[in-house]
Structure formats: structure tokens, C-alpha cells
Amino acid sequence: MADRLTREDVAKAMRDMDLCFMATHGEGGAISSRAMSNNAQVDWDGDNWFFSNGDTRKVRELEADPNVTLDFQSKDTWISVRGQARLHRDDRALFEAHWTKDLDRWFEQGIDTPGLTLIEVVAEVAEVNGRPGEGTVDLRS
């Protein structure tokens, strides 16, 4: 375990974590949370990517308030990532870069699905408990 956790420690711990809970701010300030797949983007560089239909409550909440928390868990590690969401629409090159075959079951028309939205979460802070240790990592620099 490192004396002070780094971005690389967080990336290594997240390597096998595909599913997370995404928490957003809903109407009236209530917290909304839902399970999301990280689309097998396991080589984490500080950004997380999620595909969604554009007409969902989640997307509306992110349009109103881009603050988001992602909570990941494995057998012995818990990671909470706080960041800012960016919504990407009609960016075919970006869609292709992040598309995986597993997404076909959710979006039958693939990257041509009407209203398809790619949610990018730019991490600001990660809180880690378990392996590789415990601590808070500032990811803004």
C-alpha cells in the first residue's frame, strides 16, 4: 500500500469494476441513483463513459445539475468518484471510440440509435476504502 494514494492506485483498483451506481441531483434536490455499466472502459484515466437514451430522467437531471457521484464496489474495495458530467450527442467518432458489443442488447440500432447520448463523467475526487488503502485522491490536477 502506498503512503498516499495516487491516480494510478485508483485506476488499478478500478480495473475490474464494470458496474457502478450513478447518483444525480433530482427534482427538489433529492438524490437519484441507478446502476450503470462502465462499458468495459477498464483502463481508467479519470473519465468514465456511459451510454444512455437521451430522453431519460437521468439525462434531464444531468442537464440541470452536472454534479455526479459514481460508487464502485468489488470484493474488497469501495470507490466513490465525484465529478462533473458532460453530455455528448451526435458525435459519431466519440460513440465509436466508446462502443462495445455488449451495448447492442440495450441499443438495437447501435450508435445510430435516435437520441443516443454519451455521458462523460470527468472525475474530480475519488474516495477509496479497502485495497490499495484508504484515502482521498484529488484528480483535478
Helix, strand, or coil (residue 5): coil
Dig out the grid coordinates for 75 from the structure: 470484493
The one-letter code for the residue type at 116 is L
* pLDDT tens-digit map of 86-131: 999 999 999 999 998 889 999 999 999 999 999 999 999 999 998 7
Domain ranges of the chain: 7-138
Q: Say yes or no to pLDDT of 3 above 70.
A: no
pLDDT-derived band of residue 2, with 50, 70 and 90 as boundaries? very low
pLDDT more than 90, % of the chain: 62
Task: Evaluate the CA torsion angle 90, 38, 124, 25 in order and state its sign.
Answer: positive
- Whole-model pTM: value is 0.90
Helix, strand, or coil (residue 24): strand
* pLDDT tens-digit map of 65-79: 999 999 999 888 999
- Could you give the CA distance from residue 125 to residue 136 in angstroms, rounded to a whole number? 7
Q: Say yes or no to pLDDT of 43 above 80.
A: no
Helix, strand, or coil (residue 23): strand
Confirm or reject CATH 2.30.110.10 for domain 7-138, answering yes or no. yes
